[in-house]
A = this chain, B = another copy of it.
Amino acid sequence: MKRHVLIFGVVGGLLIATLQYTEYRFVVIQHSVELYGALVAILFAAFGIWLGLRLTRRREIIRETVVVKEVLVPAEAPAPIAPNMAPFAPNAARQQTLGITARELEILTLVARGLSNREIATQLFVSENTVKTHCARAFDKLGAARRTQAVQRGKELGLLP
């Protein structure tokens, strides 16, 4: 958390130094102090936005509510073609007993959708290595050696739709 402020200070100082150095070479020579100011403004604005995003990243309050929804299932009714009439609730109990974290389950669902590790990484804004780590842990907890097997197990256990 504090690291970012440090980075901000250091890089900011470097920026100022650079700008001040180049100032005497290009900008001021051409009598365009406005350009110099605009450049500083843009750079620091972008940097400030970056810092702001860093500081308040994923700082959400998660209010979890468990809603038990009882669904009457006619016994003779065949399984619906699209089984997603209900938004699907992953079996939280089983997830807990297996020790599968929310992030791992999230990656698992994307795996089940047929995405590659790289695509998942892009979609979640993390590195491919991170995805692989989550995958490996999830596979381990599911006792799966391959991603297809993990998907199969996940569906069996009611973790995946």
Number of copies: 2
**Inter-subunit contact A92/B72 (CB<8 Å):** no
Q: Which one, B15, B56, B114, B144, contacts A144 given CB within 8 A?
A: B114
**Inter-subunit contact B71/A12 (CB<8 Å):** no
Determine the chain B residues whose CB is within 8 A of the CB of A92 once the complex forms: 65, 67
Q: Answer whether residue A38 sits at the interface, using C-beta atoms and an 8 A cutoff.
A: yes
Q: Give Cα A52–Cα B48 distance, bound, in whole angstroms.
A: 7
Q: Which one, B36, B79, B145, B149, contacts A83 given CB within 8 A?
A: B79
The chain A residues found within 8 Å of chain B, CB to CB, are 8, 12, 15-16, 19-20, 23, 28, 33-34, 36-38, 40-81, 83, 86-89, 92, 111-116, 144-153, 158
